[in-house]
Structure 1
Amino acid sequence: MATPSPAASSSSTAGVAAAAAYHANPTWRQKHQAQQVDYPSQQAVDSVLQRIGKLPGLVSPYEVDRLRTQLAAVAEGKAFLLQTGDCAELFDYCNPEQIQAKLKLSLLMSLILIWGARKPVVRIGRIAGQYAKPRSKPTETIVRVDPQTGNTTKEEIISFRGDNINAFSPDPPSGRIPDPERLLQAYFHSAATVNHIRSELSSGLADLHAPRQWSFQHVQSRALQDEFESVVDSLTDALDFMRTIGADPGVGNNNVLNSVDYFISHEGLALDYEEALTRLVRRPTPSNPSRSTFSHEAAAAAAAAAAAGGADGSSQSNEVEAVDRYALSAHTVWLGDRTRQLDGAHMDYFASIRNPVGIKVGPSMKPQELIEILDILNPDVPLSSGSDEEGGEGSHNGTVRYGKEKGRVMVIIRLGASKVASLLPPLLSAIAASSHYDSIILLCDPMHGNTQTSPYPPTSTDPSAQPLKTRSFGDIISEILHFLDIISTDFPTLRVGGVHLELTGDKDVTECFGGSMRLRPEDLERGYKSHCDPRLNFEQSLDVAFLLSHYFRKQRLQKRKQAAWGGSGAEGAEKVPEPPTTEEVKLRQKAIIETGSGDELLAQLICGITSR
């Protein structure tokens, strides 16, 4: 098992000396790196990484800490996490229209969720850096047609690894040769995307005083339009009331009604790039309340100073004591199914950073392996300041209390609709029996386990056209519902944390079939734009948001009724109709799923929305 992160034990002088030493010479470089890119010139790579290492971080340690605080609330069941965005970004996506479309969709979905669940929503985008693409094979075969003879030949070329590595187009084939300059392009495209997101949010895009300005009229489903109008009407009425009693500071002030937090994330594949944007940061202390960032050279000097002076507790050692490593390429990064080796380079790097991290959990993950990963990524640490009752850093009879950092790890579960019922319970049982049960965030990723090939081949005359990858909306909904039901029914000590969705704000995309638009597999080619995996379009994304909102609303109202009925003691009061049992719900869902594409699930949801 890998050694716990030095950042996790940085409260001790020895641990901090190790943190500085690690930063000066990261040990992940000595371990096997999955998905490693074979560049023609290592000298060219080193030159680019040195330039990136001198550039400012894309995010700040303060923003990372703010996300950590909000994720702790998610782990405690006090907030809901919504993580959304493209499967793989292209540099071409860095334009105002597409950035704003994704941002608006995230805001709309979170507003719908807040209204149903009555919980804050933490928003994380798969954006501003989601350029890398893991591949199972280093090469792929394409078909070429001789324009003169019409003869076809097959050619093996390097696989597309993402816009930060090589070109998507196979013409010319030389474009598939990994180019380190693309890492620099990835940095600047990420910086431009983050800058535009911040400017949009600071300009009032998220202002709850004007939700009608968020475009919704193009949505085809009349039921969804009516439901959104109902949400907006209720919200407007509540804001009017707040204004009347003086509780609303009004437009133009920096408060929760005018703006929101929006965090960025990506899969941490290219470790050299991640390391180049990782900084050693001194945490604020009473004697030094401001943050400061160490250069790589200063980190090496600090490591040497700590090693030399740590034994006698010198002031120089104490000065180095409160430091951590922050990955400033994003607020949070995640480990994929192909890079989660226990003794691998990615695991070692992820354990070394202060950022919250994610781990993708697919069908091949064994329960004990998951617990070992969690032990590495979230070892016991001195608990944060606070009272013993609140789970903070306590000293009982002079003994410091240790425990898990809440919200440090997001477990992103992607099993597939046909496997979730059999594979999820053993994983949850292992978590519930471990010391991680109340600190992790359980996310449902209903996308990656439900990818299939469309039964309808492309109509293009291009002989190199490949069958379209797609996903059934019914499968996506089925996995979400199973995930919710299994946790809420069978694992009372665990909490639903949120969802992790691949989607796009583009309104004319047709990559997944089903949903309230009733897209059929033969409709996919009409608006298939993804260069990677199929994404939910704007309307399908709102379908998911309303389903979740409706689910949590029913759950919340049922608890309120049960509390009121249990406390009234009135023998002759009119009884609240008994809700269907969990078994009845599961049987109903099973019957719906077995009889069709699963769209009937959405039809039931729409009926529930419009009849309430």
Structure 2
Amino acid sequence: MFEDADEETLAAISQWREKPAQHQPAWPDPAALEDAVAYLRSLPPLVFAGEADQLTSEMAAASRGEAFVLMGGDCAESFADSSADRIRARIRTILQMAVVLTYGASVPVVKIGRMAGQFAKPRSNPLETFGGVTLPSYMGDAVNGYEFTAEARTPDPHRLVEAYQRSASTLNLMRAFSTGGFADLTAVHEWNKGFMANPAYARYEQFASEIDRAMRFMRAAGVDMDNLRTVDLYSSHEALLLPYEDAMTRIDSRTGEPYNTSAHLLWIGERTRDIGGAHVEMLSHVSNPIGVKLGPTTTPQDALALVDKLNPEGIPGKLTFITRMGAGKIREALPPLVEAIRQDGRPVTWVTDPMHGNTITASNGLKTRRLSAIVEEIDGFFTVHQDLGTHPGGIHVELTGGDVTEVLGGSEEISEDGLGERYETLVDPRLNHQQSLEMAFLLAEQLRDVRFSVWP
């Protein structure tokens, strides 16, 4: 499997096959799956070990309060939406949010796209029934199609190869946009000034004006603005489909250590974080920075067991806990976990996912979330860390660069009656472009009250 790896390393990497694997598709043709995986093994890596190491260093800074993490992107990418315009819009939204958060926190913002690989999602029920017909649930474009037909819903391993190809093209665009002038701080600032032109966001005008004055001061002080034309933008996704992630695990020629080359950061979902399961086992053997989603039922013992398995040596920046508690539960559920990790002493980067714990069903049957609940969970996350003297490391949100109507509320007051106007998500509801920026301004106001480690 790895020509340059010794037998002991190969055996360790393959241990996941001996563990129970949850939320895996029922591939109908094992031979076709093996062919697809074998082909994936022959393809070049999507990311490189040195890039993953750099992200680990930046995540370590966030764990110490010297940086703040912004992870954002689609709940589930689709092949149809992996066009240059759609990707550019998502990147633009992340960059705009990052400028606002950087000013609010006065520390660097680590920018991670939930993209270039987020083509699969676990489902609560492996089957769906409509009109008396039962078919496999849609698990993302890397597995099957969304259309409710037997042909579309049958898991197809050739989609894994297309997921790789789409990820490669998305990463190419991410690198081009982040280094080719698109991420120029001056341009991003002008975009945010355009956002402020909408009277609905007048409450943020003072904050935006402060950023504008800061930009003018930098120019007056002789800051070389050409040095602010590029950014580092990393990729991440949930490591759900084990055959795909196994095929993308390669040995770094510099160190002889295994890295998952499908993304810079991989995370394990709330439904697959079983300490004895295949997902935790697989990612325990790679050198990338790793995230784990923690829901409200997580115990301190669960969290400590994950540290023991995924980062036993306590490498700074290696392990991130992404909490998804729900606005009404975070203030009670999070403190015991944070306190247990603090007493343990091994570093963890704490990031809040304020989306998944706040999903509701509207009266018209559509899944949605309320922006007010999302903001409330973020507030609870900050409150817990401030009370315990620990560092709130970042946020993880589902967003799109378009003007969809999937999340309720915000200054533009999306109501249940308006949800159906532009409800485009195939899985979970996302913040639209305007709501994402509004949340960034609200969060930036909170960040001013957070004492980061670099502050005097």
TM range (shorter): over 0.9
Match of residue 412 from structure 2: 517
Does 2:273 correspond to 1:340?
yes
Matched residue of 1:214: which SS?
A: helix
> Which of 381, 390, 398 matches 1:483?
381
> Which of 322, 329, 336 matches 1:426?
336
8 Å Cα contact 1:19-1:323 kept in structure 2: no
* In structure 1, C-alpha distance between the alignment counterparts of 2:426 and 2:114, rounded to whole Å: 15
With over 3 angstroms needed to count, the CA separation of the structure-2 counterparts of 1:481 and 1:48, relative to structure 1, is same
Match of residue 496 from structure 1: 392
* CA shift for structure 1 position 222: 3.8
Match of residue 407 from structure 1: 317
With over 3 angstroms needed to count, the CA separation of the structure-2 counterparts of 1:555 and 1:212, relative to structure 1, is closer
Q: Deviations over 1:344-368 (max 9, x none)?
A: 1111101000000000001221221
Cα RMSD (Å): 2.0
Structure 2 segments unaligned to the other structure (5+ residues): none
8 Å Cα contact 2:99-2:188 kept in structure 1: no
With over 3 angstroms needed to count, the CA separation of the structure-2 counterparts of 1:478 and 1:213, relative to structure 1, is closer
Matched residue of 2:66: which SS?
A: coil
Q: Deviations over 1:506-554 (max 9, x none)?
A: 1x21111111112222211112111111111111111211112111224
* In structure 2, C-alpha distance between the alignment counterparts of 1:54 and 1:229, rounded to whole Å: 49
Match of residue 63 from structure 1: 51
Match of residue 177 from structure 2: 200
* In structure 2, C-alpha distance between the alignment counterparts of 1:537 and 1:224, rounded to whole Å: 19
Q: Deviations over 1:128-176 (max 9, x none)?
A: 1101110121110113xxxxxxxxxx21111101100000011x32210
TM-score of the aligned structures, taking structure 2 as reference length: 0.94
With over 3 angstroms needed to count, the CA separation of the structure-2 counterparts of 1:53 and 1:218, relative to structure 1, is same
> Which of 155, 161, 167 matches 1:184?
161
Does 2:297 correspond to 1:416?
no
* In structure 2, C-alpha distance between the alignment counterparts of 1:553 and 1:232, rounded to whole Å: 13
* In structure 2, C-alpha distance between the alignment counterparts of 1:362 and 1:275, rounded to whole Å: 26
Identity among equivalent pairs (%): 39
With over 3 angstroms needed to count, the CA separation of the structure-2 counterparts of 1:54 and 1:216, relative to structure 1, is farther
Match of residue 129 from structure 2: 141
Match of residue 174 from structure 1: 151
With over 3 angstroms needed to count, the CA separation of the structure-2 counterparts of 1:40 and 1:332, relative to structure 1, is same
8 Å Cα contact 2:178-2:231 kept in structure 1: yes
With over 3 angstroms needed to count, the CA separation of the structure-2 counterparts of 1:554 and 1:415, relative to structure 1, is closer
With over 3 angstroms needed to count, the CA separation of the structure-2 counterparts of 1:222 and 1:420, relative to structure 1, is closer
Aligned length: 449
Q: Which letter maps to 1:431?
A: I
> Which of 344, 360, 368 matches 2:301?
368
* In structure 2, C-alpha distance between the alignment counterparts of 1:224 and 1:93, rounded to whole Å: 33
With over 3 angstroms needed to count, the CA separation of the structure-2 counterparts of 1:222 and 1:435, relative to structure 1, is closer
* CA shift for structure 1 position 282: 3.1
* In structure 2, C-alpha distance between the alignment counterparts of 1:227 and 1:86, rounded to whole Å: 30
With over 3 angstroms needed to count, the CA separation of the structure-2 counterparts of 1:41 and 1:373, relative to structure 1, is same
Counterparts of residues 87-98 of structure 1 (less than 5 Å): 87-98=75-86
Match of residue 353 from structure 2: 445
* In structure 1, C-alpha distance between the alignment counterparts of 2:33 and 2:120, rounded to whole Å: 16
Matched residue of 2:368: which SS?
A: strand
Q: Which letter maps to 2:93?
A: L
With over 3 angstroms needed to count, the CA separation of the structure-2 counterparts of 1:231 and 1:44, relative to structure 1, is farther
Structure 1 segments unaligned to the other structure (5+ residues): 1-14, 144-153, 284-321, 381-403, 458-466, 564-612
Matched residue of 1:124: which SS?
A: strand
Greater Cα radius of gyration, structure 1 or 2: 1
With over 3 angstroms needed to count, the CA separation of the structure-2 counterparts of 1:534 and 1:336, relative to structure 1, is same
Match of residue 237 from structure 2: 266
With over 3 angstroms needed to count, the CA separation of the structure-2 counterparts of 1:487 and 1:368, relative to structure 1, is same
> Which of 198, 206, 212 matches 1:233?
212
Matched residue of 1:210: which SS?
A: helix
Does 2:438 correspond to 1:543?
yes
Match of residue 317 from structure 1: none
Matched residue of 2:251: which SS?
A: strand
Match of residue 571 from structure 1: none
Counterparts of residues 237-386 of structure 1 (less than 5 Å): 237-243=216-222, 247-248=223-224, 250-251=225-226, 255=227, 257-283=228-254, 322-380=255-313
Match of residue 385 from structure 1: none
* In structure 2, C-alpha distance between the alignment counterparts of 1:282 and 1:513, rounded to whole Å: 49
* In structure 1, C-alpha distance between the alignment counterparts of 2:342 and 2:366, rounded to whole Å: 39
* In structure 2, C-alpha distance between the alignment counterparts of 1:39 and 1:17, rounded to whole Å: 29
With over 3 angstroms needed to count, the CA separation of the structure-2 counterparts of 1:505 and 1:481, relative to structure 1, is same
* In structure 1, C-alpha distance between the alignment counterparts of 2:401 and 2:250, rounded to whole Å: 33
Q: Deviations over 1:363-383 (max 9, x none)?
A: 221221111011100012xxx
* CA shift for structure 1 position 214: 2.8
* In structure 2, C-alpha distance between the alignment counterparts of 1:555 and 1:198, rounded to whole Å: 32
Counterparts of residues 148-163 of structure 1 (less than 5 Å): 154-163=132-141
8 Å Cα contact 1:20-1:280 kept in structure 2: no
Q: Which letter maps to 1:18?
A: E
* CA shift for structure 1 position 338: 1.3
With over 3 angstroms needed to count, the CA separation of the structure-2 counterparts of 1:427 and 1:108, relative to structure 1, is same
* CA shift for structure 1 position 124: 0.6
* CA shift for structure 1 position 209: 3.4
